[in-house]
Chain A
Amino acid sequence: MDLINNLKEVFEIEGKIKNDFQIEVEAKKELVSSILLYLKNQHGFIHLNHMSCVDWIEDEIFELVYIVWNPNIRKTVMLHTKIDRNNPEMENIDTIWDQANTYEREFREMFGIEFPGLVAEREFILEGWTEMPPMRRDFDTKKYAEETFATRPGRENAEDVRETIVKRTGEEIPDFAKKYSRD
């Protein structure tokens, strides 16, 4: 509780306690790097657990979540922030934690979020990708897969494989399997 009050005093942001181990905080995107640096230096949240991105396509928002951990008091702070989906741009935090560089590269490739000042190769996991970033929800993966990859035609009838095998070999369907039968 002290931590949340302290954050409210310093940054004027909203927060709540989820359970004994997790604290949830929401902030504007301009404040994120200051809050993370403050948590790291003043409160001992020295470990960046995870960064993730959620695509709220209906609200035209990308939600970024930063999860940091304090090993002494064993508590986690989850910092949420929302950025515009049509012009996605976020502050680079790999000066605070080096491992953030990898997460940010992934966001840039999979969601198309730009991080000004990020020094890294543009190509990360995908090779020679020319389409829209594939983790965005308006990217139709099934349509893309059908257009790009050769597929094998499937079965046309909907016969029960088990019964077909039974008819061919002359065995009997065991009792425990009869309740799954289609007849």
Chain B
Amino acid sequence: MSNKINTIGIPTEEEIKKAQIDFSPRCTSAGRVNDKETQKMVEYILNFARKHSLFVLAYGTGCGAIEIPATMTSRYDAERFGIRGAATPRQADVLLITGYLSTKTLKRVIRVYEQMQDPKYVIAFGSCTINGGMYFDSYNTIKALDRYIPVDVYIAGCMPRPESVIKGFIKLQELIKDGNAGNGECYRDNLDWYRTNQQKIIKNWDFPDKYNW
């Protein structure tokens, strides 16, 4: 009898493994339902909605921010893909890292990223975020962004033109549709690793110890 009672509530190891194969562990907390088929359906609808309303935080970190007005205005008109600006981090879905990122700005970017609500996506913009670009030997800019915050899509170029920016957004929409985008949960799980990397270069560390995510 005691065995039967135990097996009702607690899933076995095999069941847990099966569940992990079926769904990617990222970004599935929003509409979690016990039934797997229903869960898939809910995920599909949620991702469809997310994909078509990407609110971008109006925050430019480097020289790349100059391409954003061109992307948003009438010639390229990014709003036809559902891409538009948001005023505060808590209202935004997408964080654009536009161009080089100095250590001073990185601190602000991490604060902004941690304030954003799930699901949140990061698009890194220009070659500076990929490998340092023309600032490869600078004492004050970071060289690889994904060591400090998780990144969904990289857009290469110096600077990427509005066409490539829109292509990056479309790539992000494909990732969202397949349920592969959104690294907020991944960031929380590996917070220690990210924190060690961040504290290595941010000397005057005054972040709060814990967030109530």
Which segment, of A50-58, A98-106, A144-152, faces chain B?
A144-152
Interface: B88 (CB within 8 A): no
Interface: B120 (CB within 8 A): no
Are B140's CB and A126's CB within 8 A? yes
B interface footprint on A126-146 (CB within 8 Å = 1, 0 otherwise): 111111001000010110110
A148 to B199, CA, bound (A): 11
Which segment, of B64-72, B111-119, B141-149, faces chain A?
B141-149
Are A148's CB and B201's CB within 8 A? yes
Are A151's CB and B139's CB within 8 A? no
Interface: B36 (CB within 8 A): no
Interface: A174 (CB within 8 A): no
Are B137's CB and A151's CB within 8 A? no
A130 to B139, CA, bound (A): 12
Q: How far is the CB of A155 from chain B (nearest CB, A)?
A: 10
Are A128's CB and B139's CB within 8 A? no
Interface: A154 (CB within 8 A): yes
**Chain B residues, Cβ within 8 Å of A127:** 103-104, 107, 202-204
Residue from B136, B137, B203 in contact with A129 in the complex, judged by beta carbons closer than 8 Å: B203
Q: State whether A128 and B144 are in contact (beta carbons under 8 Å apart), knowing that A141-B137, A152-B130, A152-B131 are contacts in the complex.
A: no
A142 to B107, CA, bound (A): 22
Are B143's CB and A145's CB within 8 A? yes
Are B138's CB and A141's CB within 8 A? yes
Interface: B99 (CB within 8 A): no
Q: How far is the CB of A2 from chain B (nearest CB, A)?
A: 46
Q: How many residue pairs at the A-B interface have CB separations less than 8 Å?
A: 53
Interface bracket on B: 20 to 34
A148 to B142, CA, bound (A): 9
Closest partner residue, chain B, to A142 (CB atom): B137
**Which of the listed residues A126, A149, A154 has the most CB atoms from chain B within 10 Å of its own CB?**
A149
**Chain B residues, Cβ within 8 Å of A129:** 203
Q: How far is the CB of A149 from chain B (nearest CB, A)?
A: 5
Residue from B136, B137, B138, B203 in contact with A128 in the complex, judged by beta carbons closer than 8 Å: B203
A129 to B139, CA, bound (A): 11
Residue from B137, B147, B197, B204 in contact with A145 in the complex, judged by beta carbons closer than 8 Å: B137
Are B201's CB and A149's CB within 8 A? yes
Interface: B4 (CB within 8 A): no
Residue from A126, A130, A134, A150 in contact with B147 in the complex, judged by beta carbons closer than 8 Å: A150
Given contacts A129-B203, A130-B203, A141-B139, 13 further A-B contacts (CB under 8 A): A134-B139, A134-B140, A141-B137, A145-B132, A145-B137, A149-B132, A149-B141, A149-B143, A149-B201, A151-B131, A152-B131, A152-B143, A152-B144
By Cβ-Cβ distance, the 9 closest A-B pairs, closest first, are: A128-B203, A128-B204, A142-B137, A150-B147, A149-B143, A152-B144, A141-B139, A152-B131, A151-B143
A-B contact list, 28 entries, CB within 8 Å: A125-B104, A126-B104, A126-B140, A127-B104, A127-B202, A127-B203, A128-B202, A128-B203, A129-B203, A130-B203, A131-B139, A139-B139, A141-B138, A144-B139, A145-B132, A145-B136, A145-B138, A148-B200, A149-B201, A150-B142, A150-B143, A150-B147, A150-B197, A151-B136, A151-B143, A152-B130, A152-B131, A154-B131
